[in-house]
Amino acid sequence: MLTGQYVFTQVIGHLPLHTFRRCIARYQGDRKVKDFSCMDQFQCMAFAQLTWRESLRDIEVSLRSQPDKLYHMGFRSRVARNTLANANAVRDWRIYADFAQRLIIIARQLYADEPLDIDWKDAVYALDSTTIDLCLSLFPWAPFRTTKSAIKLHTLLDLRGSIPSFIFISDGKMHDVNILDQLVLEPGAFYVMDRGYTDFERLARLHDAGCFFVTRARTNLKAQRRYSRPVDRSTGIVCDQTIVLTGFYSRQGYECPLRRIKFNDQVTGKTLIFLTNNFALSAKDIARLYKYRWQVELFFKWIKQHLRIKAFFGTSENAVKTQIWIAVSVYVLVAIIKKRLNLTASLYQILQILSLTLFEKIPLDQLLNLKQATVDDDLLSNQLNLFD
């Protein structure tokens, strides 16, 4: 008989549980709770994310199928569908939001030395949002269109390790550019955005805070060229100019000079025009920085495909936000495990392996190293040849 911890217990063991208890105490999550604590709720929802459960009943049946193992996996209460549904609707979602932010801090420290193609020591972020469509009759608290509801996941992704450093959940009506008012700006950092975030008054705040930004220029941009730098057109750079804005409102919002770079993508044949307030990096590095913005699109695609954030176990705002923040916690936790154990497997491979082995007793590093087991040659020599 195997002795040791279950895989699920080893995964949960990478969480800073003392921090989680402080988050629970901050919002009085376990106040007047006799059974099924916040820890039990978190573990049930994390189990659902890791094993791709489709409903509350699915979670209940899956966990109750292993009653002798639940206590040793950390579950201290009986798992029931109604109890979990009530916890998701009532327990403050900010408990799990604060805990996810703490996990993000740990992950960013682990991935701080991840290399980029450009010579830049400060942080580089990609900012974007994704929309998750909802049913209007079930989610009336998240208005979007006249016939449907939706929520938006506004994400600031740290490109060193693809770790989300900031997440804000809003209804579908909130315009993307408004999220710039919510950011805690980091002097010296780069913020890479698409042209949906082009608001010159808000970009001026980034400039005044000592931050750098890279975005795309709108087609109706009014500007005057002051200076042109020599460029190597064989790299795809068409022009590298210093400009000042001449539009009435844009000039009032941003008075300082900007750098305009025209880039011809030789792969797609598209011509892109970038705006930035950084005059130190080469034009080629600025174009490469904007290409990194695609990482946030891949992040959205990944979590939608491999985590449960498109179908929800509850319809209240609290239940939806609870599920999303626990999903984010699971994503960051897997990234932490990958770095701490120095694994070569991708996050996708790690999730697939964990989804099938949570009830097993196998050392986590041995389970996830993806080394192919080899058969001893001596054993092979003792086998009879069937076709002799």
- 52-62, pLDDT tens digit by residue? 999 999 999 99
Provide the mean pLDDT of the chain.
90
Token pair in block for residue 174: 């909130």
Compute the distance between CA of residue 326 and CA of residue 44 in angstroms, rounded to an integer: 10
Average pLDDT (292-301) is 91
Answer whether residue 374 shows pLDDT above 70.
Answer: no
pLDDT of residue 265: 86
Average pLDDT (294-319) is 92
pLDDT of residue 376: 46
Compute the distance between CA of residue 57 and CA of residue 339 in angstroms, rounded to an integer: 34
Answer whether residue 2 shows pLDDT above 80.
Answer: no
Give the CA count within 13 Å in the CB-facing half-sphere of 107. Answer: 29
Edge-to-edge strand ranges of the sheet holding 149-158: 163-171, 149-158, 124-134, 190-192, 212-216, 271-276, 258-264, 237-245, 223-229
Residue ranges of domains in the chain, CATH in brackets? 7-95+315-368 (no CATH), 194-282 (3.30.1370)
pLDDT of residue 4: 83
Q: Is the full-model pTM beyond 0.85?
A: yes
CA distances from 2 to 14, 68, 191 (A): 22, 15, 50
Determine how β-strand 190-192 pairs with β-strand 124-134.
parallel
Of 212 and 114, the structure prediction assigns the larger pLDDT to 212
pLDDT in tens, 91-110: 999 999 999 999 999 999 99
Query: If pLDDT is split at 50, 70 and 90, which confidence band does 378 have?
Result: very low
pLDDT in tens, 108-150: 999 988 888 777 888 999 999 999 999 999 999 999 998 899 9
Average pLDDT (272-286) is 93
Q: Name 337's Cβ contacts closer than 8 Å, sequence gap at least 6.
A: 11, 14, 343, 350, 364, 368
Average pLDDT (327-338) is 95
pLDDT of residue 252: 92
pLDDT in tens, 27-85: 999 988 888 999 999 999 999 999 999 999 999 999 999 888 998 898 988 899 999 99
Q: Strand locations in the chain, DSSP E?
A: 124-134, 149-158, 163-171, 190-192, 212-216, 223-229, 237-245, 258-264, 271-276
- In the chain, pLDDT over 70 holds for what percent of residues? 94
